[in-house]
Amino acid sequence: MIRYFSTRDEKAEKGVSSAAAIKRGIAPDGGLYSPDVIPEVTPDFIDSLKDLEYSARAAKILSLFLSDDYSGPEIEAFCGAAYSPEAFPDGAAPLKDIGDGKFVLELWHGPSCAFKDMALQLMPRLLSAAITKTGEKRDALILVATSGDTGKAALEGYRDIDRIKIEVFYPAEGVSMIQKLQMMTQAGSNVDVCGIRGNFDDAQNGVKSIFTDGDIAAELDRRGLFLSSANSINWGRLLPQVVYYFSAYADLLKQGAVSPGERIDFVVPTGNFGNIFSGYLAYRMGLPVGRLVCASNRNRVLTDFFSTGVYDKNRSFYTTSSPSMDILISSNLERLLAYSAGPVRTAGYMSELKKTGRYSVGESILGDIRDIFAGYCADDEETSAAIGRYWKERHYLADTHTAVALSCADRYISETGQERPCVVLSTASPFKFASSVYSSVTSFEAEPGYRALEMLSEATGIPVPARLSGIDRRAVRFPDVCDADGMRRRMLTFAG
Ligand SMILES: *Cc1c(COP(=O)(O)O)cnc(C)c1O
């Protein structure tokens, strides 16, 4: 039996099942649910993934964590539906060989064209079943405040899922044109979308205040609903991401690019530390990983943490060309701390962070962390240069987030002389950030609006992805914008 404990549970006594952890999202003490044992796999297990499709690889790996609550056929059915050819027409996580021992793992072939689909296509199915399994009588209302990518991926994942409704709030002037169109044209019978007059913080604070309001909870309870969240602190969002680390290794084995047991490095464009933490779980399960390289943009709070052991969010916040990584509090780092330093110390760090904005882990814990992690960062200029370089030299077109990782990979390899195969995770389609990518490739400015996508396509000969093609001409279902204090009324109307 695997039990899920809060990262701050000092007595380690309040463990819950996987279904309960997925339903609750965050632990009552504010910590993050994490498994008490990390299942280990054998080299034969890894080898057996080679000849399977992605959905079957996913089912085998997820079963190791979920089989106390979910049956084998159930997990297979969920994975089959989540990673179907309809959802991922070009394959769920194709691995591209770009030469010199470097590979790109493309995680953006899902409905929103960003990597959050990898988890959000699956998690709603796990949650929907968890509601039934835990004997919950009410249905879930998922409330999301988004600065861009999460909103669309969550809407696509939760639409038309049984016993769940989803409502997304976004800053009307604070997301990209493509992201806004993706949300305003959303399909599904259980979805609602509304813009907010204000910035992302206003949207997020509005959502937080709804979550902590006892009167609203009681009112929703009368209507047979409870609130739940879709963000990356939920165990149900981390777990599906473990799969593609194994999948990349299985593909390398299949291509003969590695021999069984040979170690490889991963370079991960990082914001909230969810993606790379899933890589850490894969490593702890027995995947032969040499290094997990954490790639940050100019908001380099994690780079500094890995070099000094001091996490300090008291610093300027920068808006960069890789907005999904513009973060000063990387929530999932708490899970790494819990495994490295234990819940007692982790609870202490988190209360320090809340009080003073910083904490320090000390030499010995930092040493353990650095045995597997390394931190690198790239500013906008280096990122843009990497996009141009990889396009000109290797004909690989990367988005801005992926390019941060490519730039970091190059520095990591030149500084360490490392010769292991290196897998760079690619987290968004270049067309999602078309105007930055266009100017990096051509040195000219793109025209505003949808035209930028067409210009990028003309300049590179790569077609606009079907999911984004003509998005400016689709019917708008959700044109509304409200003030931040109108969010409650909107939510209660939607709740019905
Ligand atoms: C969310 C996101 C990231 C950051 O992932 P984390 O799990 O938060 O570290 C990187 N790139 C893109 C495109 C994203 O949407």
Q: What pLDDT was estimated at residue 437?
A: 98
| CA 147 to centroid of ligand 1, rounded, Å | 11
Q: What pLDDT was estimated at residue 198?
A: 86
Q: What is the mean pLDDT of residues 255-260?
A: 96
Q: What is the mean pLDDT of residues 415-440?
A: 96
Q: What is the mean pLDDT of residues 250-269?
A: 97
Q: What pLDDT was estimated at residue 258?
A: 97
**pTM for the whole structure:** 0.95
User: Which residue's CA lies nearest to atom 4 of ligand 1?
Assistant: 271
pLDDT, tens digit, 9 for 90 and up, residues 182-236? 999 999 999 999 999 988 878 888 888 898 889 999 999 999 999 988 888 889 9
Mutation pick for ligand 1 pocket among 156, 303, 324 (CB with most ligand atoms within 8 Å) = 324
Q: What pLDDT was estimated at residue 474?
A: 93
Angle, vertex CA 438, rays to CA 436 and CA 439, nearest 5: 70
Q: What pLDDT was estimated at residue 394?
A: 97
Place of tokens 């680390």: 245
| Confidence tier at 244 by pLDDT (50, 70, 90) | very high
Query: CA distances (Å), 169 to each of 161, 205, 472, in order?
Result: 19, 11, 20
Q: What pLDDT was estimated at residue 230?
A: 85
Residue 32: what are its φ and ψ, rounded to 5°? Answer: -110, 130
Q: What pLDDT was estimated at residue 301?
A: 96
Residue 23: what are its φ and ψ, rounded to 5°? Answer: -70, -40
Mean pLDDT, rounded, of the chain: 94
Question: Per the structure block, which two tokens stand in for 165?
Answer: 């409704």
User: Which residue's CA lies nearest to atom 2 of ligand 1?
Assistant: 324
| CA 71 to centroid of ligand 1, rounded, Å | 31
Q: Which helix (H) or strand (E) holds 141?
A: strand 139-145
pLDDT, tens digit, 9 for 90 and up, residues 65-96? 999 999 999 999 999 999 999 999 999 999 99
Ligand 1 binding pocket, CB closer than 6 Å: 114-116, 149, 232, 269-275, 324-325, 401, 427-428
For residue 399, give the ligand 1 atom closest to its CA.
Answer: 13
Q: What pLDDT was estimated at residue 147?
A: 79
Question: Does the pLDDT value for residue 10 go beyond 80?
Answer: no
For residue 108, give the ligand 1 atom closest to its CA.
Answer: 13
| Confidence tier at 148 by pLDDT (50, 70, 90) | confident
For residue 241, give the ligand 1 atom closest to its CA.
Answer: 7
CA 97: distance to chain centroid?
23
Residue 207 CA to residue 229 CA, distance in Å, equals 10
- Taking alpha carbons only, the member of 289, 288, 261, 235 closest to residue 62 is 235
Q: What pLDDT was estimated at residue 205?
A: 82
> 296 or 149, which is more confident?
296
Q: What pLDDT was estimated at residue 434?
A: 95
Residues contacting 302, CB < 8 A, separation 6+: 270, 273, 294, 296, 330, 333, 375
| Confidence tier at 287 by pLDDT (50, 70, 90) | very high
**For 256-319, where are the alpha helices, taking DSSP H only?**
274-285, 301-308
pLDDT, tens digit, 9 for 90 and up, residues 380-413? 999 999 999 999 999 999 999 999 999 999 999 9
| Confidence tier at 12 by pLDDT (50, 70, 90) | low
Tally Cβ neighbours within 10 Å of residue 16: 17
> 273 or 233, which is more confident?
273
